[in-house]
Structure 1
Amino acid sequence: MAGSLGSAWSSPLPSLLPVSSPGANPPAAEDDRESPEGAPAAPPPAVQYGFGVPLNTHKEANYFMHFIRNLASWFDTCDPARHFGIEVPKRAHHLPLLAYSILAFSARQLSLTTGVDDGSHSSYYSHALRILIPIFDDPNEAMNENVLAGIVILRSYEEMFEGDVNTHLTGSSRLLNSESRLIARGGLGEAASWVVLRQDLYVCLTKSLPLRISLESYRHSSSFVETNDHALANRAVFICARVVMYAMGPDTTLDPDLWDELDRDMKSWFESTPWRFLSHTAESSAINDDTDTAFPTLWMARRVQVLGYQHYYIARMILDMFHPKLWKPSFEAFRSRALTQDHVRESLRILLGLTVSNSGDATVNFTAHHTLHAFGGFLRDTQEHEEVLRFLRYMTQTMGWPTQGLADKLREQWQHAKRSPGNEATSPHGRGPRQQQAPQSGVWGSGGG
């Protein structure tokens, strides 16, 4: 374990929740006892900063357990060891930065879903910042997987606000870019690094900004050695990040050779992945199963597989949009752009079909939400619009995720498209000229890359 913040792990861990009743004090950990010479040990870091030891009240224990039971999975979708659900809560009892990060995020999410806000999340967030900011003044202290995990959680706290300015993504990117060994060591550092990459992709999709993270260190991840579902999903995220860097990098030139390389990587990933859809079209779904959905029904065995395919289709959409031939000054390029819109719309419908068919995972919902920011305007069918807006309301009601800004943005784009000539709806629901089909794979069909 890197860095001085991990030194407390030389002593046995206390029980996860030492709160027996509201207001009860936890038993003293070994680090808080007197030294053999009789001199008192140094106060815990939180006390040094002028506020009490975290996880010391019934309310904080409730927030802590809410994180373990309901929110840690938001980070652990691609991590079979579930470091944020198991390891981070253990370390939080010795590391106030992790504890206050958890409390801030959990309290904020609960306030949004219950409508009851006692303001405590702001205090916890401030406490975490007072611990975190001085750490970055000491490079040796900052190069630590515990710090990175804390930043990841604080970043999620920031995302719960409509006016998110991605402050802590800057910190996590700087830490990863300066300390590439974190991901190669495995464990919490590797797990947190993959979450940071997904958070960076979120900003790229929603704000059309280039990646801040250097991708070279990710090549040392065990995900490029292992063959389990989580590793395969991480590889799709990595390829998607390379595609984003190709399209929106600071020195983008839309290199045809690089486009071909990325296209081959995407097809190779798709063809070598052993996952399978159980799929049929939206029309047959509505007729046979009375399923009220505008999108293809695409069931998957595991939600981590859904996440992998989502990033495949994001990359597919970006490659289609940023094909070098589309940006040449020619009439052929102009005609090709119209066809490209159909390809992008097809991939988006598949991604949304995967999302609504396999609901229940927060990370899957996030990915769809972020994708709608970038590509939602391509949808032309009223039934699809209505379902997307229902999906966004569902995210807000069940997860507390702010979606009103995106909903307003999409309504404006859809209204503009209706007023523009040549943008008539090409409905996949039997009301227009084009009958769109869902992809099939494995024993259910021949696949589609």
Structure 2
Amino acid sequence: MRHRSSCRRCRQRHKRCLTNPGSPQCNECELAGELCYYEVKPQFRFFHRSSFRRRRSKPQSKEASPSPAQGRNSSSSPNQLIDFRDTLPHQSPNIGTERNNTNKSASNRQRRVSYDDLAHHPWPSPMADPPSLHDPQTPSPQAIFHVTTQSDYPNQATIDFTHSSPSTSPVSLGVPAPSSTPLSFTEREAYLMGVYIHQVSLSPDSCDEERHFATTVPKLALEEPIVLYGIFALASRFDEIQTKTQSDVESTQYHNQCLELLIDALSKPPETYGVPLLTAVVLSRLYEEFDVGKDTQFYHLKGTRNLLGFNAITKSAQNGGLAEAVCWLHLHQVIYISMVHKQKPDLYLEIFKTFQSYDGNSDRSHVNRAVYLLARVLREFFSGSSDISQVWTQLEKELDDWYRGIPRSFQVLYETPINMTAGRTFPSIWMLSSLQVMALEYYYASRAIICLYRCNSGGGQAFGFDAMKARKSNEESILYYLRRSIGLARGNEYFPGAYYMPSYVLFLCKHFSFCFCEIFGLHHEGGHLIRDPIERDHCVQFLSDMADRVPRESYKLIQTLQKEWAELDGLGN
């Protein structure tokens, strides 16, 4: 039996819509295992009220079918629109039950749909039924975007680039279809994407006015699975640390999927390397940083350094955009490794002076120049040479020029001074935004490291009164810059990334005497920079607050500081 109008599936495929007597579905939909939909298009005709009444007044035979206008309100206005709909195709009264029973097993399978279907169904629904695997119209797996269902999560944390299924609900008339194929995540995956955009990306975008990691990277992830897995792994690990979840199965599964794609991409010729690969490596490095206890090999840090050696990556970064933002984030990561693990930055720093955002008067340019100067200071600090006084003088001059050249937006908005009697050992410094906070923190860190060098070099004299006087002066300067850094973090708690740099400086100052004794063979007098008991307690409190605000473990640093303070107090100052 053939209906007056074809179902949706047959009409899209230009096929004859035939239905067996008593069957709720046409033959094509029954073979495909899909529900059969008949869309009724309303037709409208104009009728004058007078003529309409004349038609109603004429007698009708009992055999004649009732007029479509019967039952209308006779008080309607002239020239009104009267809805005449085609008669619906014959269907069983229990069609909903029959369809559910027919497709009960098929509703649990992952369904695939052609691009034509998606164009007519812009808003997907995960409850639609799949077509038959033998349907010749079914596209290949390479043309499918598949996201795991919530029931499979997290045992199967796999996401393939497949298309979502069409909606089983009625399609709203007048809603245009999207220009591209709509995507569909599970509830957990959508949550992880939100965690990355609104929480994790705050730190990578701390020195970027355009916020590439919060805006451009998620868009890139919708096209590149290697970036998508990197985002899910990073956000999952962040969520595990914030919620103090003991299991890391979910983040590990996502990270392993990202690593598989990384290995496959790196096995290809260097000409194929691009921004997605560079972004995925940097995201994987952020994932490594979250696990401080196991962060000793720096695999992805070395991988990013190697990628920067290829001309395709370098030229892309010099043109600005996401590639440049990723490179600057890599420099931040190199600085972190240098300060925490006390080693020279393993990176060709001069390449950063060729980037677009290095020169200029924007806030981003001022921040990037401060980051670059700190990297140069660390390179000289851990170079192992004691005869570099001219280099340090040049670095100090460049830092002075940078500080004198900062715009008005980098000035302190408000500062709560130190008050030891009130128990306030650190100031509270309020800034305009995260860019100003990061710029001043990097500036103070550079100044503290230069004083750290001067403190142990004795101002050119290794022994005697002048050396001790210079050392005491530099120790006070280091404490001043450390307090300023902590004050920036305290005064701008809306930005969790402000907690990182003060902890790095504190960690570096903890080892400065022993480090320089090994490098220069100097005599160590004993004692520690932070000697006041109240100030020590506030340092511990600051590190404890840091562990609650950022995904970075600090209890080991707290234990080490308390142990060394006890030993130094036993030896005497």
Which of the five TM-score ranges fits, normalised by the shorter chain? 0.7 to 0.9
Residue matched to 1:134: 264
Q: Structure 1 residue aligned with 2:392, among 242, 247, 259?
A: 259
Higher Rg of the two aligned structures:
2
Give unpaired runs (5+ residues) of structure 1: 1-13, 26-33, 423-449
Indicate the residue corresponding to 1:352 in structure 2.
486
State the 1:300 CA deviation: 1.4
Tell me by how many angstroms 1:191 deviates. Answer: 0.6
CA distance in 2, matches of 1:228, 1:329: 43
What TM-score, normalized by structure 1, do the two folds share? 0.78
Residue type of the partner of 1:276? Answer: Q
Partner Cα distance (1:415, 1:394) in 2: 22
Q: How many Å separate the matches in 2 of 1:380 and 1:176?
A: 43
What is the Cα deviation at residue 414 of structure 1? Answer: 2.2
How far 1:334 moved relative to its partner?
4.6
Question: Offset at 1:39?
Answer: 8.2
Matched position secondary structure for 2:357 = helix
Which residue in the other structure is 1:281 paired with? Answer: 417
- Summarize deviations over 1:212-232 as a string: whole Å, max 9, x none: 111111001223322122221
How many Å separate the matches in 2 of 1:20 and 1:333? 74
Q: Which SS does the other structure have where 1:283 is aligned?
A: coil
The 5-angstrom pairing of residues 337-376 of structure 1 reads 337-375=471-509
Offset at residue 129 of structure 1 (A): 0.5
Matching residue's letter, 2:433: R
**C-alpha distance in 2, partners of 1:21/1:356?**
46
Deviation at residue 329 of structure 1 after TM alignment:
4.0
In structure 2, do the counterparts of structure 1 residues 335 and 23 end up closer, same or farther at CA, with 3 Å as the change threshold?
farther
Asked if the contact 1:78/1:231 (under 8 Å) is kept, the reply is no
In 1, the alpha carbon distance for the partners of 2:146 and 2:294 equals 29
Q: Equivalents in 2 of 1:24, 1:245: separation in Å? A: 59
Deviations 1:307-326 (A, max 9, x none): 11111111111111223554
Number of equivalences: 388
Question: Which deviates further from its counterpart, 294-303 or 211-220?
Answer: 294-303
* Structure with a larger share of its residues in helix: 1
Q: Deviations over 1:144-176 (max 9, x none)?
A: 222222122111111111221222111112212
Asked if the contact 2:158–2:254 (Cα under 8 Å) also holds between the matched residues in 1, the reply is no
Q: Does 1:294 align with 2:434?
A: no
Say if 2:343 is the partner of 1:209. Answer: yes
1:271 pairs with one of 404, 407, 425? 404
Distance between the aligned counterparts of 1:326 and 1:355, measured in 2? Answer: 31
Answer yes or no: is 1:60 the counterpart of 2:182: no
**Structure 1, residues 156-208: CA drift from partner, whole Å, max 9, x if none?**
11111122122211111221244433431100011111111111100111010
Matched residues in 2 for 1:387 and 1:329: separation? 33
Provide closer, same or farther for how the CA distance between residues 91 and 283 of structure 1 changes in structure 2, counting only shifts above 3 A: same
- Provide the rounded CA distance (Å) in 1 between the counterparts of 2:123 and 2:301: 33
Q: How many Å apart are 1:109 and its aligned residue?
A: 0.9
Q: Are 1:103 and 1:121, in contact at CA under 8 Å, matched by a contact in 2?
A: yes
For 2:307, which of 165, 172, 175 is the aligned residue? 175
Alignment of 1:231-250 (within 5 A): 231-249=365-383
Q: CA deviation at 1:356?
A: 1.0
Q: For residues 8-157 of structure 1, what are the structure 2 equivalents within 5 Å?
A: 40=140, 42=142, 51-53=158-160, 56-116=185-245, 117=247, 119-140=249-270, 143-157=273-287
SS at match of 1:75: coil
The CA deviation at 1:209 is 1.0
Does structure 2 retain, via aligned residues, the 8 Å contact 1:205–1:370? yes
Report deviation, 1:139: 4.8
**2:530 — aligned with what?**
379
Runs of 5+ in structure 2 lacking a partner? 1-117, 130-135, 148-156, 162-183, 511-527
Over the matched positions of the two proteins, sequence identity in percent amounts to: 24
Are 2:521 and 1:392 aligned? no
- Distance verdict in 2 for CA 1:232–1:19, change over 3 Å: farther
The answer to whether structure 1 residue 421 and structure 2 residue 572 are counterparts is: yes
The code of the aligned residue for 2:321 comes to G
| Contact 1:183–1:220 (8 Å) recurs in 2 | no
TM-score by length of 2: 0.62
